[in-house]
Structure 1
């Protein structure tokens, strides 16, 4: 079973790596077919809720490790929760601020090509690593 998961994961990463490589080599593919419409508040909130509650990675990547670590801190659960919440607020605030700071850079097509090339290298390297069993 683990071999199947490994090969499916490798194929998934390789596919996304090749898509990123194609975008890096063909930057015209980044052009939108139409004009972007501004989102409404309701649409933004629904998207945020969907990304939060429908994100399957949040449970094994966040909830389980945090819960396990919290249980190893008897008598300190309140402080652990405060620290975890503070870390989350700081992290997502930094992401939002970073987005605002990088907006002028990513207004240029060349920046997206460099980003996509980097993503292709990372994803294809991970796919090959999975295939080799490292």
Structure 2
């Protein structure tokens, strides 16, 4: 069972590793040290549900509704454009008193944003339902397929909690409004680049 377990772990980890909207948000919250545990739990659990569905063959639905990915892309792009604009506005406004004081928005606001980055992102469905689901078909035996799924889910938990809490290592260089402004500009650019990729890629 070690082979499917490791295959699931490395496959999922490699897919999640790419810098995306969800990862950028977790990184930002990790730097702010705000609601990190609950946000990481939300992202990892959401991935676990999608990975499980992918391994169980739920990705077949996409073949039944070929227009679904396009609708998801439009919705995801709209969300990314708005969030990117908010980050640019924050950088322009330059008021980072809350971040520098170790404060942030409320828990439910943070979780709602994290959920949107997860469930409105077509790439999440592509990675979990389609790609991971496709790789899992290499293992036909139930126990091997289960081990693959456990490995993939474990990778998600390791990655998000590692990113959320590991972000604190960057805390020493995030002690000025200028550093937060640069971070917000970079995140805004990532959001708009991802939106453009969804619309035109």
**TM-score (structure 1 length as normaliser):** 0.59
Q: 1:15 to 1:87 in 2, by over 3 A?
A: closer
Residue 37 of structure 2 is matched in structure 1 by none
Aligned partner of 2:97 in structure 1 is: 31
Are residue 56 (structure 1) and residue 119 (structure 2) matched? Answer: yes
Give the match for residue 99 of structure 1: 167
Using the TM superposition, give the Cα deviation of residue 19 of structure 1 relative to its aligned residue in structure 2, in angstroms.
Answer: 1.4
Separation of aligned partners in 1, 2:168 and 2:102: 21
Task: Report the equivalent of 2:137.
Answer: 71
The equivalent of 1:124 in structure 2 is 192
Q: Return the structure number with greater relative CO, CA threshold 8 A, min gap 6.
A: 1
Gaps of 5+ in 2: 1-66
Structure 1 residues 56 and 122: CA distance shift in structure 2, 3 A: closer
**Tell me, which stretches of 5 or more residues in structure 1 are unaligned?**
none
CA distance in 1, matches of 2:166, 2:139: 33
Q: Following the alignment from structure 1 to structure 2, what is the Cα–Cα distance between the partners of residues 90 and 72?
A: 24
Q: Distance in 1 between matches of 2:171 and 2:195?
A: 30
Provide TM-score, normalisation by structure 2. Answer: 0.43
- Can you list the C-alpha shifts for 1:26-58, whole angstroms capped at 9, x where unaligned? 211x333x9959x9xxx8xxx98xx78xx6369
Find out whether 1:108 has 2:176 as its counterpart.
yes
Q: Provide closer, same or farther for how the CA distance between residues 13 and 56 of structure 1 changes in structure 2, counting only shifts above 3 A.
A: closer
* 1:83 matched residue in structure 2: 151
Task: Name the stretch that deviates more: 55-64 or 111-120.
Answer: 55-64
Match of 2:46 in 1: none
Compute the RMSD of aligned alpha carbons.
4.1
